[in-house]
Structures are given as structure tokens and as C-alpha cells.
Amino acid sequence: MRRLPFLAFTALATGLVLWGAQSASQAPSPLPLPRLLKPPVIDGDLREWREHAWHDGVWDLARVRAAPWYDGGRINRLTDHGSEPAADEDLSARYYAAWDDRYLYLGAEVRDNVNDTTDPQHAPKRWYYKDAIAWFIEAPRDDVAEKFAEGDHAFCFVIDPTKPDYGAWWRHGAPGQTYLEEPLPKAAVTYAIKMNPWGRSAGDFILEARIDLAATLGRGNPAWTPPKVGNRYSLCIVHTDPDGGDYGGHLIIHGTGDDDSTWAPAVLTGPQAPIERKAK
Ligand SMILES: [Ca+2]
Ligand SMILES: [Ca+2]
Ligand SMILES: [Ca+2]
Ligand SMILES: [Ca+2]
């Protein structure tokens, strides 16, 4: 047998190791979005469905800083106006998502020191200058890098309990169009915000929302079909937290922003049982 020269062998072995590491990092397991068997009541209390929804623990800036998509603090950051508490008290949150035949369900339980929904340069589409959570979703997922083009949607909720007309916002693409900006049609969204739910901080809140899939995702891409187990989506969460400043803080999770090729793969799954805890 002809022996491989040592250098060639080393290069081949290194290449295989690198290839293995790269394919592992390029193909993360899709985020599983479970189907709900019982429709939640949209009232600002997630307890009836939170254990049956997708949820991957508490997010704060320390955890985001350790994530592979962290941008070194350019956009993904918090601000300090001189009277701010520690970063985890400034903003930390749990996010939830699930679906059924008709709706996408979104939820968040958030610890925030200051509720800030004023914007000196207010325009209806400027949710990102206010306390807000946006779920960026591509449906169906594709391999084309796009910015709010066909199939891309942002469902954005300004954390203003008076629910102004721009409070539930929809940035999206459509065939041949990008960055369409409009309020989520009233018939397509139901949401509730409960402020200070734990009696701890006036900035804390719970957000609970449901979005009609056919009326939103169904209008974005001719390739969209009614939801079923196995459908591939993409997901990124953008949580903005100005706390009295201008552009202010952002936690960007499972992606880097508007480029949908950075959004995490997600898949619609069947129902999920709550995490089992052992008797001992
Ligand atoms: Ca509820
Ligand atoms: Ca804050
Ligand atoms: Ca794409
Ligand atoms: Ca805030």
C-alpha cells in the first residue's frame, strides 16, 4: 500500500477535524416550536402554556455575550445612564413560542428596571427606539440571505399597556417587495401586556400574543403552506431597551439582525410535555 506522506496525512486529518467542527457549527439543531393542544387565553399570564412552548432559559447580556452570534457590543448591548442597576437587573427575559392550526403564540416574561416607550423622533415604525420585543420569522426557511424580503416577517410589540395603533407592528417582505412597514392588522393579532406582574419593578412585564398565520405569513411568500409538523422556519428575537436614552440597549438573540441567513433554523414539532422533575 502506498503510504500517504506525513504532511499530506496531517493536512487531511486537520481538514477533517475542521470540517467536522464547521459542519457542527453551521448546522445547529433547529429550535423546536411545539404545537399546543389547548389554545391559550391571551390575558398576560403564560402559565397555562409556558411549559408546553419553546423556551430556552433566561437571557441576559452575559449569556448573549457568550453566544456565537454576539457582535462585540456594537448593537447587541445595554446602556448605562448613571443610575442603572447591574446588567442582569437592567434586562433579563424568558421568551416562549408555540403554534397550532391557526395561530403562532409568542410570550415573554421580562425583568426590566425602567419602562420607556417615549421616542423624541417618534414614528410608528420606530419600535426599536422604545421598549419592545420583536420576533423575526422566516417562513418557510430558505437558503437565500435576504433582509425583510419574501417570507421574512418581524412581529414587534411595543411595551406600552395603552396599546397605541403602532403597538403591534409588522415589518415584512412580499414577492418583489422589502421592508413593508404597517401595524399588524387588528384581525390578525391579539395581545396582552401585564406590567409589574411580580410586584418587583414597574419596568417588569409579561407579554402574551397570538398571530393569525394565514393573515400574516400566508401573505408573505407563495411557498407558505398552513402549518404542519416538520415545517422549517427561521427565528431571531430582538429585544430593545432604551431606558430613557435614544437608540439604547438591544439584546439580539439567535441571529445578528435583519439578515435572515443569520436567523436560527426552527422546526414545527408536535406537542411537548413539560420538563420532568424527579421525585428524588
Ligand atoms: Ca394566558
Ligand atoms: Ca432596562
Ligand atoms: Ca432567506
Ligand atoms: Ca426598559
User: What is the tens place of the pLDDT at every residue in 207-240?
Assistant: 999 999 999 999 988 889 999 999 999 999 999 9
| Alpha carbon 158 to chain centroid, angstroms | 14
Rg (CA), the chain: 20
9 pLDDT more than 90: no
Q: Does any domain span residue 11?
A: no
For residue 180, give its domain range.
33-269
Neighbours of 278 (CB within 10 A): 4
CATH number of 122's domain: 2.60.40.1190
Q: Does any domain span residue 189?
A: yes
Ligand nearest to the CA of 240: 4
Q: Does any domain span residue 191?
A: yes
Q: Does any domain span residue 143?
A: yes
Q: Which residues surround ligand 4, an ion (CB under 5 A)?
A: 112, 114, 116, 131, 241, 243
Question: For position 245, what pLDDT does the model report?
Answer: 77
Among 21-35, 59-73, 250-264, where is mean pLDDT lowest?
21-35
| Gap between the Cα atoms of 61 and 250, Å rounded | 9
Ligand nearest to the CA of 209: 1
Q: Are 258 and 147 in contact (CB under 8 A)?
A: yes
146 pLDDT more than 60: yes
Neighbours of 19 (CB within 10 A): 10
| Gap between the Cα atoms of 113 and 87, Å rounded | 10
178 pLDDT more than 70: yes
Q: Does any domain span residue 8?
A: no
The domain total for the chain is: 1
Q: How far is CA 126 from CA 31, 134, 187, 238, 244, in A?
A: 28, 12, 22, 13, 15
Question: For position 220, what pLDDT does the model report?
Answer: 82
Q: Does any domain span residue 98?
A: yes
Q: Are 242 and 121 in contact (CB under 8 A)?
A: no
How far is the centre of ligand 4, averaged over its atoms, from the C-alpha of 95 (Å)? 16
How far is the centre of ligand 3, averaged over its atoms, from the C-alpha of 141 (Å)? 6
Question: For position 81, what pLDDT does the model report?
Answer: 84
Average confidence score pLDDT of the chain: 91
How far is the centre of ligand 1, averaged over its atoms, from the C-alpha of 237 (Å)? 21
Instruction: Show the cell assigned to 114.
Output: 425602567
How far is the centre of ligand 1, averaged over its atoms, from the C-alpha of 210 (Å)? 10
10 pLDDT more than 80: no
How far is the centre of ligand 2, averaged over its atoms, from the C-alpha of 76 (Å)? 13
Q: Does any domain span residue 205?
A: yes
How far is the centre of ligand 1, averaged over its atoms, from the C-alpha of 209 (Å)? 9
Output the pTM of the full model.
0.90
Q: How far is CA 127 from CA 113, 133, 270, in A?
A: 18, 8, 33
Q: Does any domain span residue 177?
A: yes
How far is the centre of ligand 1, averaged over its atoms, from the C-alpha of 154 (Å)? 22
How far is the centre of ligand 2, averaged over its atoms, from the C-alpha of 243 (Å)? 5
- Strand locations in 18-151 (E): 31-34, 59-60, 91-99, 103-112, 132-138
